[in-house]
Structure 1
């Protein structure tokens, strides 16, 4: 009997460990943590150099074989993986191909080379330039437009600009907070060779883009030895009238021909980038009115938010894809072998500017809800006494108090179950700034 393979997971937490244990072939694997999860999940201060040193020391001290190094998070985990994998001879895509996805300006330029009709107008700008708004206009972009950092995490520091006043309010926040990601991202950029047109645009810059919209979705996929495979499309549905996400739903409800076109675009772009032997997901909009597909952005990982959805519908978390690729295997990802035809992750939100949390649902209340709704999962994102403004990784318009995963037979049943469950999630607040 062969020895089990050792798989090292950057930021391994209980959420990942439980699902990893249920993967196909998990009995032949041993999962080990690299870098404590609170270092990458529960902070907004990322000392990448120190984390790389810590991970290297832990791996070098391991007495067995190092067969794979994986991660399931966006920045900083995603950007550290190619560096660690190169140091220890394990499989993943190259740092250059990863940055062609994660450096938003470089990524737009690369996308524009092969699918220009699916890319919005865009330009890079320095948020510390007092004439930034004028320069954006000189580049051919006019209000309204969307602004986000060259490297961001989630929806953080993304702003819809609909007036000069909203631009300058956004600039204040960007100047105050962009360094939290810009500085560590620049540490990674120093290890890469950027093309001439991109080299001067570091992590302290922002991207201004033409406003695009429509039905948003995510194509989850991977590249194995040059072959691009898209294995699932997840819809991203927002609260009415705002930019905040309401829920992710799988499988997608988009028309088949739209899904087929998105898969085709994904294959074209990922092949052109040279991405290989790693998972990814690509976010799109389908503008139904203008019958146009827009490519929003590329992420160099699976979405953790979708793990439970794939497990409910297909029978196993798509962490399967990441582990198999890292071990040099074609992913053994099943299809429609789960307990539910449909699944979703809901974001229970409040739309305050700030507040102090005075009550959260009790352990007993959550246990009762989970018993009443089989297959459900509820994860609180706040604690009693916490200020909402202290929550990491929030969008610019709301706060997610809880994540709720549910399965159902159809859309109507899904929403009925969520409405019933959400009505019994009791939070309390004071010092509310609405």
Structure 2
């Protein structure tokens, strides 16, 4: 689903890659960037591609978020391919249904939450939870339409923005849920719905990467997630995690209970947690029934093999042999330098071209750089953004210490030298 050149390179880096042929099933624009996801039309196009394919189809895989993560179980079921049920994936991806299931499996790790119909709530109504809280659609991707609510004014502004954009996600979600056998608790939850959640961003955030194979849950890696100064936007991922081993063990146990309760099987997954050191408490943020594509280059640098290998092995009915422990570096990071605040009217006046970026990469072993901006671009037109910041670039780095990772990033970012509206540069 959504094969792209960057991730194709990583797919071809897995062991036994010469035995595989990777084919695109729907384009990246169709399942990620489109302003409208016409799910029936997309499924029909995918079916036509599969029917016309002259050779056997051995697996359908993907690493993108909504809606493709929910389309894959439908297509796999129709083609008799291995994978999780649509209902189990919905119990991960539908944020309200997922919280209901999590509260049954690990009630102490789930924050207060409430269902919110953004079109039924008025500015005069009391908030669904005590301030502060998050408000977001029951499904979306890349933190789109997710708002941190601190005041009644924040709530009113968020509702206005959500009402204007939520149908992009809830209309295709309704179409996908029409293929599922839904329990009574969620059968009537169609239409534009949001979830309000108490904020649990206190402490350190990390993501467990794992898989379920023949009913057995395995956690093979933990990645730290470092947020920016606004405590909302992610600025860096680091692998392996620096959390204490006893905390990692508690998270592994909780993840195993949740996955078993949800009924996931024959799929990779990732699960995000927070650890509050002052309270010695962990909290569960969310579950995704897929690998994190952002983590794949990190595993490649440290393990010597991208964890896309896990996705492929499970889909083909093989128990993964992972982690590989044959990497070039001890540590790896994905840096996401950001510009904070509202600068929609700014225009990029200087950015290096592709040839310059490749020369910069050559200065630091293992570096990979992707800019999300180019000269002449208005920041208002960026897709790589959240309500509070603009993600200007992605830099993947490997090193033999965490200090070296940060040093190499700072050096490369100075050399990249982005400028806006004639300014000399902007610190991210």
Kept after mapping to 2: 8 A contact 1:123/1:136? no
Kept after mapping to 1: 8 A contact 2:115/2:196? yes
Report how far residue 198 of structure 1 moved: 1.6
Asked if 1:266 corresponds to 2:255, the answer is yes
Report how far residue 38 of structure 1 moved: 2.2
**What is the alpha-carbon distance in structure 2 between the residues aligned to residue 333 and residue 44 of structure 1?**
37
**What is the alpha-carbon distance in structure 2 between the residues aligned to residue 347 and residue 18 of structure 1?**
21
Unaligned 5+ segments in structure 1 are: 1-9
Asked if 1:157 corresponds to 2:145, the answer is yes
**What is the alpha-carbon distance in structure 2 between the residues aligned to residue 180 and residue 33 of structure 1?**
24
Report how far residue 146 of structure 1 moved: 1.2
**What is the alpha-carbon distance in structure 2 between the residues aligned to residue 78 and residue 315 of structure 1?**
26
Other structure's SS at 1:134 match: coil
**What is the alpha-carbon distance in structure 2 between the residues aligned to residue 268 and residue 291 of structure 1?**
20
Q: CA RMSD in A?
A: 1.7
**What is the alpha-carbon distance in structure 2 between the residues aligned to residue 280 and residue 431 of structure 1?**
44
Q: Counterparts in 2 of 1:33-432, with a 5 A limit?
A: 33-131=24-122, 134=125, 136-137=127-128, 141-202=129-190, 204-213=192-201, 214-353=203-342, 354=344, 355-430=346-421
Of 169-178 and 382-391, more deviation after overlay is shown by 382-391
The CA deviation string for residues 120-165 of structure 1, in whole angstroms up to 9 with x for no partner, is 011001111233773644xxx2111111110020211111111000
Kept after mapping to 1: 8 A contact 2:372/2:384? no
Kept after mapping to 2: 8 A contact 1:124/1:206? yes
The 3 A distance-change label for structure 1 pair 193 and 134 is: farther
Unaligned 5+ segments in structure 2 are: none
Other structure's SS at 2:21 match: strand
TM-score, reference length from structure 1: 0.94
The CA deviation string for residues 28-47 of structure 1, in whole angstroms up to 9 with x for no partner, is 11111111222223333211
Kept after mapping to 2: 8 A contact 1:149/1:203? no
Kept after mapping to 1: 8 A contact 2:137/2:193? yes
Kept after mapping to 2: 8 A contact 1:153/1:393? no
Of 232-241 and 245-254, more deviation after overlay is shown by 232-241
The CA deviation string for residues 334-363 of structure 1, in whole angstroms up to 9 with x for no partner, is 333100000000002112421222322122
**What is the alpha-carbon distance in structure 2 between the residues aligned to residue 407 and residue 155 of structure 1?**
27
The 3 A distance-change label for structure 1 pair 370 and 170 is: same
Runs of 4 or more above 4 Å deviation:
none
Kept after mapping to 1: 8 A contact 2:2/2:25? yes
**What is the alpha-carbon distance in structure 1 between the residues aligned to residue 205 and residue 123 of structure 2?**
29
**What is the alpha-carbon distance in structure 2 between the residues aligned to residue 209 and residue 161 of structure 1?**
10
**What is the alpha-carbon distance in structure 2 between the residues aligned to residue 119 and residue 412 of structure 1?**
34
Other structure's SS at 1:262 match: helix
More strand per residue: 1 or 2?
Answer: 1
The CA deviation string for residues 350-377 of structure 1, in whole angstroms up to 9 with x for no partner, is 1242122232212232122111001100
Report how far residue 408 of structure 1 moved: 1.0
**What is the alpha-carbon distance in structure 1 between the residues aligned to residue 71 and residue 333 of structure 2?**
30
**What is the alpha-carbon distance in structure 2 between the residues aligned to residue 109 and residue 133 of structure 1?**
28
Report how far residue 393 of structure 1 moved: 5.0
**What is the alpha-carbon distance in structure 2 between the residues aligned to residue 34 and residue 270 of structure 1?**
28
Report how far residue 185 of structure 1 moved: 1.2
Report how far residue 383 of structure 1 moved: 2.6
The CA deviation string for residues 66-94 of structure 1, in whole angstroms up to 9 with x for no partner, is 11110110111101100110111111100
